[in-house]
Every structure is written in structure tokens, then in C-alpha cells.
Structure 1
Amino acid sequence: MVHAGVGVRQINSILSTLNIPAVNHTMLIRRQNEAGQAFEEVAKSSADMFLQEEVHLKEIYASRRWTAQDIGFKIHVVAGKNPIGYRMYLAD
């Protein structure tokens, strides 16, 4: 709500349109803080997960243990993934 510029008056206006009783300013701030903490936890865990994946992919790329598999048509499929996540094809 803070970043959207929506305050207590706007929320109470929306709630009154829906025939829902108005909320108190302090209660709204408390709920906003609770939601903010939950958003931060999810964002942190998501960032940590993708950071670990990026480190893992970097290790695979840096190890240079690519093995070419012949699939015919004078193209080899490289076993493994490149850092972007697509299979690599090497032409003869």
C-alpha cells in the first residue's frame, strides 16, 4: 500500500463500497507490517535459491567436462546444460 500511494482513506472508501466496516489506522499499519515481513521472507528465500542454482551452473560451466554425443546429421549434442539453460549443439 505504501508504494502504491494508497492510504487509510482510500482503503476505507473501497471497503464502504463493498459494505464492509471501515478499518482503524493502527490495525491497517499492523497488518501491513505483517505482510511486509512475509514478502521479505519469500523474496529472500527465492533469491537464495536462484543464487545457489547460478553457482551450481557456473561450476558446471567452469569444469569444462562437456562430452559430445553423436546424434547424426553432423551435429553433436553436448551433454549437460550451459549457464543459460539450453542444450548446446556443435556442428562438425
Structure 2
Amino acid sequence: MTDYRDGVVVYWRPLCPFCIRLRLRLKLARLPRTEVDIWRDPDAAAFVRLVADGNETVPTVTVAGNALVNPSMKEIREAVRRYAPQLLDSAR
């Protein structure tokens, strides 16, 4: 699995309405991120299970390596301010 420790990573899967909504909100906010489909990346799926009590709960987001399971945009913005404030220069 690729090392994404410095930025925002969204772990998602196709047809997940929560993932669709969050990915759209992140795009509209212009927050730089990497998106990983857990159905195409078994290591990513294993990571999500590790941080989500054995479940493949998506969306799961990491901000500078800090995991958030099914977070709100507010929680993501707070995590970015705390762990990766340099990303806010690109976002609105």
C-alpha cells in the first residue's frame, strides 16, 4: 500500500452513498486528497478493517495518518487544521 502519511486519504467503495457525498464535498472544498477504492486495493481494505473495529466502514479518512471513520466535513476540516494545516492553502 502507498504511504499517504502527509495528506488526506479517502478510503471508499463504489455505490456507497456516504462516500459519494463526502467525495463531492471534498472536491467542492478543493481539499487535496488521494482517493482509494477498497474493493480494488486489498491492503487498503485491511487498513480500514484495522481502524474500524474489523468492519469495512467507508468512508474512512486519514489526515496525516490519523484515521477518522465515517467523518463529517467538520471533523475532516478540524483534523486538517490540527495535523496538516499546509493543505488549507489549496482549499477554500
**TM-score, reference length from structure 2:** 0.24
Structure of larger gyration radius: 1
Greater relative contact order, per chain length (Cα 8 Å cut-off, separation 6+): 2
**TM-score, reference length from structure 1:** 0.24
Could you say which structure has the higher helix fraction? 1
Could you say which structure has the higher strand fraction? 2
